[in-house]
Amino acid sequence: MWEVKNVDYEHIVSMLDKTFAWSINRTFSREEAEELTQEIMFQAVKSISELRDENRFEPWFWRLASITLKVFKRGKAKARNTMSYDEVTMLSVGDEYDFETDDEYQNLRKRIVQMSAVYRDIIVLHYYDNLSCKAISQKLQS
């Protein structure tokens, strides 16, 4: 019979900022990054009892994050493939630019992820969430 061990959830909590930065680097919107981060943290809390060696926490965590990312992307792809005809009429047909293969775009995304949290939040709020400078200022002051 498995014995329930005293789990130190502080390890998982300490990974939150790193996980969000990792998620931002692998998704294209703040909402998806937040959703992915939440799912990774949930899976970590749910699976922490399976960790056999505390010294191997980070490799275990990042492996779990990679698996969760794959499942997350599959779920998003299925959701995109099951759009209704009403949604298809709202899509813009003319934009065929492939951001994922553009080296300059990928370099820019890496630079954003490397910024401090405050600057990164401003960039994400302005360019990804389309907030005005005034709205960003109000949001960051609260």
φ, ψ dihedrals at 76, nearest 5°: -65, -40
Residue 100's pLDDT band (cuts 50, 70, 90):
low
Across the chain, mean pLDDT equals 78
CA separation for the pair 2, 59 (Å, rounded): 23
pLDDT at 65: 94
Contact 135, 122 (CB under 8 A): no
pLDDT at 7: 56
Residue 41's pLDDT band (cuts 50, 70, 90):
very high
Q: How far is CA 1 from CA 4, 33, 52, 54, in A?
A: 10, 38, 15, 21
Residue 36 scores a pLDDT above 70: yes
Query: Residue 68's CB: how many other CB atoms inside 10 A?
Result: 21
- Per-range mean pLDDT, top range of 24-28, 55-59, 79-83: 55-59
pLDDT at 42: 93
